[in-house]
């Protein structure tokens, strides 16, 4: 409760929550397209490739201003991405290998630069290492303005080029056949993805930022079958994960923000995988159980039909024990009988035995015929 109150009245916490919420919404929006295009790894490569850009931007300008560092990150991330795209296109190296190479080479270079920077006297309090795992507590209102501004541009581009991005994600060659230069559309979408990723680096860190691209979108996919609502849901999940993770980490000592936010996003993914209607595992289990019950009830009806045939009479009752034996000793014969009674296919006699009704006979015969035909 106190945390919620602080969210509104504590300036630092409000700043942090605002920044993290914005970055979550932006990465959720762009993540939708990355996930649908099966390019989750690209997000990972971009965020790792951004690290040397951040350090170089500091080394060249000597400034720790967020906008400068974010621009450095964007340039490096963008170069890394274009490298992946052109290596894949021009050589026989498959895309996943190209991603892996760019990711590790850029990240390794970034770490070397980072280590070197920390030996410089001027960089004692540079605190660039916060870009590794993220630190929301250091967010200032200025940073939030940068995140919100760049994020708004990214979301605006998605809104403007909505149908072009949809074409790219669904049927690229058809898009090319009707005259859209799909390579340029792809570069545009990727550029916006780079923007969405680099605005989150200070808060979430380069190591885990990819999770903010993938997790909200993966969770959103479970709930909807329309691209529009998937983007909105994904942005919402991302924002919620950002706010909750950042607030938890900012209010505790020495908890890095990146992992906390990612854990929050993971909760959304797990909950969605479990409970989403139709695609969710729980829903699936319930449906399977229901199907099994129907099948079992049908099997009991068949057994009753067979017994009626042996005893030359519908009204003759049969003990549950007999039916249980016929069902291979299953214990839920009673439940199946109750179901059949509701459907008017079987009826309980006064002595507790069961028999098939004329309607049940008909149903069993119809089923038998269909079974024989097929």
- Residue among 44 and 164 whose Cβ is closer to other proteins: 164
Contacts of 280 (CB under 8 A, 6+ apart): 222, 272, 273, 274
- The DSSP H or E segment spanning 356 is strand 354-356
Binding to other proteins by residue 226, rule CB under 8 A? yes
- From 8, 121, 124, 225, residue interacting with other proteins (rule: CB under 8 A): 225
Binding to other proteins by residue 116, rule CB under 8 A? no
- From 46, 195, 207, 221, residue interacting with other proteins (rule: CB under 8 A): 221
Residue pair 49/77 in contact (Cβ under 8 Å)? The answer is yes
- From 89, 184, 288, 289, residue interacting with other proteins (rule: CB under 8 A): 184
To other proteins, the closest distance from the beta carbon of 272 in angstroms equals 14
Binding to other proteins by residue 175, rule CB under 8 A? yes
Burial of 121 (0-12, 13-18, 19+ CB in 10 A): exposed
SS (H, E, C) 102-133: HHHHHHHHHHHHHHHHHHCHHHCCCCCCHHHH
CA dist., res. 350 & res. 86, Å (int): 81
Binding to other proteins by residue 90, rule CB under 8 A? no
Binding to other proteins by residue 219, rule CB under 8 A? no
CA dist., res. 308 & res. 260, Å (int): 65
Binding to other proteins by residue 289, rule CB under 8 A? no
Token output for 53: 């850009």
- Residue among 185 and 243 whose Cβ is closer to other proteins: 185
Q: Name residues contacting other proteins, limited to 31-70 (CB under 8 A).
A: 36
Binding to other proteins by residue 109, rule CB under 8 A? no
CA dist., res. 70 & res. 349, Å (int): 79
Stretch that binds other proteins, among 75-83, 175-183, 204-212, 286-294 (CB under 8 A): 175-183
Binding to other proteins by residue 166, rule CB under 8 A? yes
Stretch that binds other proteins, among 110-118, 155-163, 320-328, 364-372 (CB under 8 A): 155-163
- Residue among 226 and 370 whose Cβ is closer to other proteins: 226
Binding to other proteins by residue 181, rule CB under 8 A? yes
Q: Is 355 helix (H, G, I), strand (E, B) or coil?
A: strand
CA dist., res. 51 & res. 207, Å (int): 10
To other proteins, the closest distance from the beta carbon of 232 in angstroms equals 12
> In Å, what is the CA distance from 318 to each residue of 194, 312, 315, 331, 347?
72, 13, 10, 16, 11
List interacting residues with other proteins (CB under 8 A). Answer: 36, 92, 160-164, 166-167, 169-171, 173-181, 184, 221, 224-227, 230
């Amino acid at each position: 409760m106190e945390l919620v109150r602080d969210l509104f009245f504590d300036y630092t916490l409000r700043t942090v929550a605002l920044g993290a919420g914005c970055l979550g919404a932006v990465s959720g929006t762009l993540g939708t397209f990355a996930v649908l295009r099966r390019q989750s790894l690209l997000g990972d490569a971009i965020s790792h490739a951004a690290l040397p850009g951040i350090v170089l931007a500091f080394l060249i300008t000597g400034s720790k201003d967020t906008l400068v560092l974010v621009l450095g990150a964007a340039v490096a991330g963008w170069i890394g991405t274009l490298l992946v795209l052109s290596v894949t296109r021009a050589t026989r190296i498959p895309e996943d290998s190209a991603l892996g190479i760019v990711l590790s080479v850029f990240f390794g270079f970034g770490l070397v630069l980072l280590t070197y920077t920390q030996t410089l006297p001027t960089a004692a309090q540079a605190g660039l290492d916060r870009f590794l795992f993220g630190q929301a507590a250091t967010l200032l209102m200025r940073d939030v303005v940068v995140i919100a501004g760049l994020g708004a541009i990214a979301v605006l581009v998605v809104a403007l080029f909505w149908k072009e991005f949809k074409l790219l994600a669904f049927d690229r060659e058809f898009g090319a056949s009707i005259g859209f230069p799909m390579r340029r559309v792809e570069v545009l979408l990727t550029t916006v993805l780079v923007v969405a990723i680099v605005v989150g680096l200070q808060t979430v860190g380069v190591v885990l930022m990819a999770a903010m691209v993938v997790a909200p979108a993966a969770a959103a996919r479970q709930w909807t079958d329309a691209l529009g609502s998937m983007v909105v849901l994904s942005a919402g999940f991302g924002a919620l994960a950002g706010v909750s993770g950042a607030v938890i980490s900012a209010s505790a000592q020495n908890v890095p923000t990146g992992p906390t936010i990612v854990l929050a996003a993971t909760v959304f993914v797990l909950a969605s995988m479990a409970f989403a209607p139709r695609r969710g595992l729980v829903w699936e289990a319930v449906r399977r159980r229901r199907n099994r019950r129907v099948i079992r009830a049908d099997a009991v009806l068949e057994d009753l039909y067979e017994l009626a045939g042996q005893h030359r009479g519908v009204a003759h009752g049969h003990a549950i024990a007999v039916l249980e034996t016929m069902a291979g000793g299953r214990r839920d014969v009673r439940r199946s009988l109750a179901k059949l009674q509701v459907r008017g296919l079987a009826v309980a006699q006064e002595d507790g035995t069961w028999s098939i009704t004329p309607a049940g006979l008909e149903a069993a015969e119809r089923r038998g015929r269909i079974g024989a035909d097929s």
